[in-house]
Amino acid sequence: MNDLFSPGSLVTVAGGALTVVGAIAYATGSANLSLPTIFYGIPILLGGLALKSSELPPARRITPKEALKQEREQAPPELGKLLGDVTRWRYGQKAHLETSLEALKLWDEDNPPQLLEIEELNESDGYGLRLRFALNAVGQDRWNDKQDRLGRFFAKGMQAKLIPLDEEHLDLLLIPADHG
């Protein structure tokens, strides 16, 4: 259901509706209605289709948006930005956190890691995030090599813990460094 309400879908539906109204108005001889609706409808439809072709849906958010609001506000601001960035529609990217993964050398151009879900954590360690990745062509050994840098990369004062789930999936926990 979430795919139906993406910006690309909404623009495509609006352009399609305008085009259909324009075509019907043209067929019934209503030139005042057909010209503007076709004139605007077709480009809007094509723009919507272009958006749909380059669309990257948000990562699945496990923790409801309203939960942990106070903890999120007290956490490093980079974590809030990271959460906001991966929970919105993206266009023209192959994966969430594309530039970050490239900088960390955890990128494969043909089959990059995909962020599947994100969860906010508030345990005795403090506020943190859990990011679940499908590894694709970037193996767990490359992630393990970068573990020390991962936490510091995403936010000051954080450390990373890697939890392999199976050969193809991995959880990255970003938690406060002084509690790890």
| 3-state SS assignment for residue 86 | helix
Number of independent structural domains in the chain:
2
Q: What is the pLDDT of residues 157-173, one digit of tens each?
A: 899 999 999 999 999 99
Residues 106 and 82 in one domain: yes
Comparing C-alpha atoms, which of 116, 161, 166, 126 is closest to residue 143? 161
Which pLDDT score, from 0 to 100, does residue 4 have?
58
Residues 133 and 44 in one domain: no
Residues 134 and 107 in one domain: yes
Residues 71 and 116 in one domain: yes
pLDDT at 126 over 80: yes
What domain range includes position 98? 57-179
Residues 89 and 16 in one domain: no
Residues 96 and 65 in one domain: yes
CB neighbours of residue 22 within 10 Å: 21
Which pLDDT score, from 0 to 100, does residue 1 have?
44
Alpha-carbon distance 56 to 157, whole Å?
Answer: 30
Residues 38 and 118 in one domain: no
Residues 17 and 84 in one domain: no
Residues 68 and 101 in one domain: yes
Which pLDDT score, from 0 to 100, does residue 66 have?
85
The pTM for the full model equals: 0.82
